């Protein structure tokens, strides 16, 4: 695939944007809708490999279920020369990884803004059974207005079925592995939250929590090591914000946030003044105040030498008598003082640590209860701190508990908080806006709705096959399983205008005809002409600008090569602007093919050279005209006789250059 290729009959390749291990990414123009898109194409070595094709197309299946402002949109899919491709929205800007490399630690409010958007995207995906599996700053795109978009669901799949490991190989990036991912265990939404916890750590400190000489070394650290403190590297980070990172990066999935939405809400409030005195979060099961290794029992015979027998009759002597007997012995005063000091130290440690010896109790099962019932059950079990959040549910009636964190049966300190997720009732979602999309793509965005109906009508403004309007309108909040969406699809105009296809490639001409509502005849007539091989010579039965009914068949005549007396001339022209203002350039030619036909029209900001093609023939000399901001600045005649003998420099003969127009730019001149 190269610049100038037309993919799928509508996407004109402009340039390569980048490449990954399995695919290339190109910038292309959608000729049908006149917008830029990004096309990801599977590399040739993998295109014939069934395993890689399945993995690549898995991305399309996953992303087609997603429609969210913080997720890169999938527009179309197809196959080009045997290689599958995906068409995405083009997102100008740079990745979060590039932003961190350029700026280092990000401002706290910016961290919260990006975090909020990414977690909304993950929540949207998780609610539809999709786990990203490769969350990292390289896959988070940032636009100039601060919008964050999650990209590259290349190894995502619907939940359920086999585990992540395939042929013993870990998928993802080692620096952002969750412990379960590093061990090759089943991946869940909690794995995405761990990976994003690493991303938060990197945004806050500018560094990764774990480094190593190899991916295996880094992965092992995710399993075994605790990450360095964020606040040690950046003291101004509040404890509450560091707690979000600590909980997201908990080693055990059940100790992390229950959902991306729960993590988003906690992150959003992490800078609130009310949370300034929050204690550091500790993963359940760890006890920083455990004094088991600090104390040891004292023996009555601690002062005796090892192996020496007890004093006869010691068992019958009272405690007071033993103390007095010891005190009467001057040589053992040092031992007594040492024992007294150790006893005081032991007693002090116990006294200081007593307030921190918080009892652990088993969390009761409260899922399905009303809010009041759940709070009462938790209070009776000894848990006074209860946080709540709300979430829509199609299965659980409003006001009842959908989920709890931690789950029932977990042993938890009674001072810890229990999070309850309460139902808001049936799930209401925003209807996707599918206007301007093809019917096939529009339907793929509406698979969750009860029914999708279609109607057709004529339109002078919307191309054939695209959605004109929808009912309900995009953005309306509805219950998906109870809503029927009606799509009104364009049949094109009642009367359409024949486009100018002469000089175009066959593929471009067919796209233009289809967009205008005509039916290109698959059968093509070929003949020798003054047009290069493959170019359209003329169309029948209509010429450019004529009116016809939509659906009219048009036959295209295509050049089979130049006639023997034709001469091709490639004439160079250079523009040399002097100032910083852009210059509108138009170049027209008259030759054996055209009369005053515009071949180039664009705006330039600096020096640029064009190579203009003219085809000359006996009695059909060439004339090249160059306009700058609408003013003729060069008129160059190119006689057939001179071109036939190889003299196409133009010289002074036949050339007429009008005076340079006023302004900062110089006239366009031949080099």
Judge if the upstream peptide bond of residue 426 is cis by omega within 30 degrees of 0: no
Helix (H) / strand (E) containing 218: helix 215-224
Three-state secondary structure call for residue 548: strand
Of 391, 366, 396, give the one whose Cα is nearest residue 262. Answer: 391
Among all chains, which residue has been given the structure tokens 């399309």? 60
E strand or H helix that includes residue 564: none
Half-sphere exposure of 188 (CA within 13 A, CB side): 13
Q: Is 565 a catalytic residue?
A: no
What ranges make up the beta strands (E) of 380-483? 386-391, 401-405, 411-413, 418-423, 428-430, 451-457, 467-471, 477-479
Find the distance separating the first CA and the last CA of the chain, reported in whole Å: 32
Task: Output the six-digit token pair for 213.
Answer: 């000489």
Question: The sheet that has 35-42: what strands, in order across it?
Answer: 6-7, 11-19, 23-30, 35-42, 83-89, 74-80
CB proximity list for 173: less than 8 A, separation 6 or greater: 134, 136, 138
Distance of CA 293 to the CA centre of its chain: 49
Contact (Cβ atoms closer than 8 angstroms) between residue 566 and residue 592: yes
Q: Omega of the bond prior to 315 within 30 degrees of 0, cis?
A: no
Q: What distance in Å separates the CA atoms of residue 629 and residue 648, rounded to the nearest whole number?
A: 27
List the catalytic residue out of 30, 76, 134, 405: 134
The verdict on whether residue 40 carries a ligand-binding annotation is: yes
Contact 180, 186 (CB under 8 A): yes
CA atoms within 13 A on the CB side of 34: 4
Backbone φ and ψ for 611, nearest 5 degrees, come out as -115, 110
DSSP sequence for 181-201: HHTT----HHHHHHHHHHHHH
Hey, which residues are catalytic here? 134
Annotated binding site for ATP: 40
Q: Residue ranges for the binding site?
A: 40
């Amino acid at each position: 695939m190269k610049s100038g290729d037309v993919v799928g009959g509508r996407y004109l390749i402009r340039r390569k944007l980048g490449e990954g291990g399995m695919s290339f990414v190109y910038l292309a123009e959608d000729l049908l809708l006149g917008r830029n898109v990004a096309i990801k194409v599977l590399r040739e070595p993998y295109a014939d490999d069934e395993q890689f094709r399945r993995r690549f197309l898995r991305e399309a299946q996953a992303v087609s279920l997603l429609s969210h402002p913080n997720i890169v949109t999938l527009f179309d899919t197809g196959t080009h020369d045997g290689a599958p491709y995906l068409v995405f929205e083009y997102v100008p800007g740079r990745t979060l990884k590039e932003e961190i490399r350029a700026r280092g630690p990000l401002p706290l409010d910016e961290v919260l803004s990006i975090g909020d958007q990414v977690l909304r995207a993950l929540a949207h995906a998780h609610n539809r059974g999709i786990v990203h599996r490769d969350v990292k700053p390289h896959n988070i795109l940032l636009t100039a207005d601060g919008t964050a978009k999650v990209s590259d669901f290349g190894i995502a799949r619907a939940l359920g079925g086999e585990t992540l490991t395939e042929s013993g190989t870990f998928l993802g990036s080692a620096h952002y592995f969750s412990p379960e991912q590093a061990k090759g265990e089943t991946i869940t939404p909690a794995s995405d939250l761990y990976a994003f916890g690493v991303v938060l750590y990197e945004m806050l400190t500018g560094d990764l929590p774990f480094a190593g000489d190899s991916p295996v070394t880094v992965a092992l650290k995710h399993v075994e090591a605790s990450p360095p403190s964020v606040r040690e590297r950046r003291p101004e980070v509040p404890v509450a914000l560091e707690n979000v990172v600590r909980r997201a990066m908990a080693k055990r999935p059940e100790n992390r946030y229950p959902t991306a939405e729960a993590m988003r809400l906690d992150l959003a409030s992490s800078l609130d003044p009310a949370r300034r005195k929050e204690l550091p979060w500790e993963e359940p099961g760890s006890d920083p105040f455990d004094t088991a290794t600090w104390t040891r029992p004292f023996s009555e015979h601690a002062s005796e030498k090892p192996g020496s027998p007890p004093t006869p009759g010691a068992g019958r002597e009272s405690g007071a008598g033993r103390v007095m007997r010891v005190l009467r012995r001057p040589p053992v005063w040092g031992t007594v003082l040492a024992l007294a000091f150790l006893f005081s130290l032991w007693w002090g440690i116990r006294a200081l640590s007593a307030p921190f010896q918080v009892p652990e109790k088993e969390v009761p099962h409260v899922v399905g209860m009303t809010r009041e019932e759940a709070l009462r059950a938790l209070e009776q079990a000894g848990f006074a701190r209860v946080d709540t959040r709300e979430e829509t549910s199609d299965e659980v009636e409003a006001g009842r508990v959908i989920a709890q964190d931690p789950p029932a049966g977990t042993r938890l300190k009674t001072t810890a908080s229990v999070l309850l997720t309460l139902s808001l009732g049936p799930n209401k979602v925003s209807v996707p806006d599918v206007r301007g999309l093809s019917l096939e793509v529009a339907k793929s965005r509406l698979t969750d709705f009860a029914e999708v109906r279609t109607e057709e009508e004529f339109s002078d403004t919307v191309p054939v096959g695209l959605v004109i309007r929808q009912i309900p309108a995009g953005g309306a909040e509805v219950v998906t399983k109870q809503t029927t969406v009606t799509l009104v699809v364009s049949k094109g105009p009642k009367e359409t205008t024949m486009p100018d296809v002469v000089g175009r490639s066959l593929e471009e001409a067919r796209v233009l005809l289809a967009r205008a509502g005509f039916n290109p005849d698959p059968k093509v007539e070929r003949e020798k002409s003054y047009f290069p091989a493959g170019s359209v010579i003329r169309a029948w039965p209509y010429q450019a600008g004529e009116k016809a009914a939509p659906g009219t068949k048009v036959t295209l005549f295509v050049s089979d090569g130049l006639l023997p007396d034709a001469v091709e001339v490639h004439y160079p022209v250079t523009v040399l602007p002097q100032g910083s203002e852009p210059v509108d350039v138009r170049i027209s030619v008259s030759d054996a093919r055209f009369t005053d036909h515009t071949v180039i029209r664009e705006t330039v900001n600096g020096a640029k050279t064009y190579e203009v093609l003219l085809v000359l023939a006996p009695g059909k000399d060439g004339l090249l005209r160059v306009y700058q901001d609408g003013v003729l600045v060069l008129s160059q005649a190119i006689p057939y006789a001179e071109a036939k003998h190889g003299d196409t420099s133009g010289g002074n003969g036949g050339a007429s250059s009008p005076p340079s127009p006023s302004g900062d730019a110089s006239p366009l001149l031949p080099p």
